[in-house]
Amino acid sequence: MGLLVPYIRNADGSIVRVSDGIYVASTKEMDPYLFEEQLHGWPEPKVYWAKESGPCLGVAPYRGDLKSLLTDIAAPELVE
């Protein structure tokens, strides 16, 4: 599979990218993450969630942009 970036979806629907949690994963480790969502304004174009809605953990395939390692906020539109 490659490198995955963890994402957290909070109860209010906000999303947080956990850039210091990037890890190497196999395809089997993707099994719990069934629900795909397109991302806008984040370094990764999509994330796979463990639950369709509500607070949960998700993962996104890492694209290799070293600048994206510095993006660890809840609202990407605030990045200047």
Phi-psi region of 16 (alpha: psi -120 to 50; beta: other; left: phi over 0): beta
- Can you give the pTM of this predicted structure? 0.75
Q: Which of 2-6, 35-39, 48-52, 68-72 has the lowest mean pLDDT?
A: 68-72
Q: What confidence tier does 31 reach under pLDDT thresholds 50, 70, 90?
A: confident
